[in-house]
Amino acid sequence: MPLFKQTHTNMQTEVDNVLNVTLLEPRMKHPTIFARFDELNPGESLIIHNDHDPKPLYYQLLGERGNIFTWEYLEQGPQWWKVKISKRISGESDETLGEIVAKDMHKAQIFKKYGIDFCCGGKKTVKQACAEKGIDVTIIEQELQKAGKVVSNRPLPYNEWNLDFLADYIVNTHHTYVKNNLPEISGYAAKVARVHGHNHPELLRINQLVEAISSEFSSHMAKEEQVLFPYIKRMVEAKNNKETIQQSSFGSVKGPINMMEIEHESAGKNMSEIRTLSNDFTLPEDACASYSLLFRLLEEFEEDLHTHVHLENNILFPKALDLEKELVTK
């Protein structure tokens, strides 16, 4: 295989920067790759060909050069592995989990698959989240790259909505869901703990956690609906009318937003503990119909909670903070 490869696109000849690692002596492989990478200008790429997965190189490059590159598998065996290594443009940084999902909700399924919290933990990068959970970051990045190339049904364009519309959507969809379903979940959690708690003591703790979520969410949603969301909608109205507004009696919107995010994190941790205690909502052999219904409702609630918190933490709140900077006079 040649060191450089020519491709013809739109009648123009383009020379790809390709390195066939198999032609190098073993002791020269990594030094040569590093030297070729160092020669790249920001935004340029190097494609390496190898006869096995070069994943160890990813970690060596990350350790010795830092987070200044992206890594994309173009081909993965069984005979050849091709990887495109691109040098980041100066100032460019990894997107956070929340930013990734805000752009493409389909990618949330990848994070859910590996138990990565993209809502309460949405401010972390993929590398940070994988390091904390001991997950191979190259696997996640590869799946994210594939998901970005898949054409599928377009999800709701939350990130494009006006903030007043998004706030109303959250109330009418997610707050309504919680109000309609959390009392039922609480009732089943208490019942199942009472009937099966002697054989499955983890149900007692699950019941306590459900009670904590129920108690906290009641006041949490009230604060959003009565204080925070109306203020965000007033800011949207002011912008539409090309007006400025006086800072609210509670000061900057950052205060209530911080409080909401803390409460989101608390609910997320409680749901995470419930998932762990229930062994990912796995039913025991002696589970009755109520036991089965409780776990189904809890898993459904967790799914709604992830989207609910994501919409607020990663879209509504950051945009509200930016909008306040534009409009508010102190």
Domains in the chain with CATH codes: 5-87 (3.30.110.40), 97-149 (no CATH), 158-329 (no CATH)
Mean pLDDT of the chain: 85
pLDDT of residue 198: 95
| pLDDT for residue 127 is more than 50 | yes
- Better-predicted residue by pLDDT, 151 or 125: 125
Indicate the angle between helix axes 289-310 and 176-196, nearest 10 degrees.
150
Full-model pTM: 0.60
pLDDT of residue 155: 67
The continuous run of DSSP H or E covering 17 comes out as: none
- Better-predicted residue by pLDDT, 189 or 327: 189
Residue 303: other Cβ atoms inside 10 A: 11
Q: Looking at residues 178-192, what average pLDDT do you find?
A: 94
pLDDT of residue 132: 86
What is the 8-class DSSP label of residue 236? H
| pLDDT for residue 62 is more than 50 | yes
How many Å from the N-terminal Cα to the C-terminal Cα in the chain?
Answer: 66
**Residue 317 CB contacts under 8 Å (≥ 6 apart), including other chains:** 257, 260, 261
| pLDDT for residue 250 is more than 90 | no
| pLDDT for residue 100 is more than 90 | no
pLDDT of residue 4: 42
pLDDT of residue 55: 83
Most confidently predicted of 15-29, 107-121, 185-199: 185-199
| pLDDT for residue 322 is more than 50 | yes
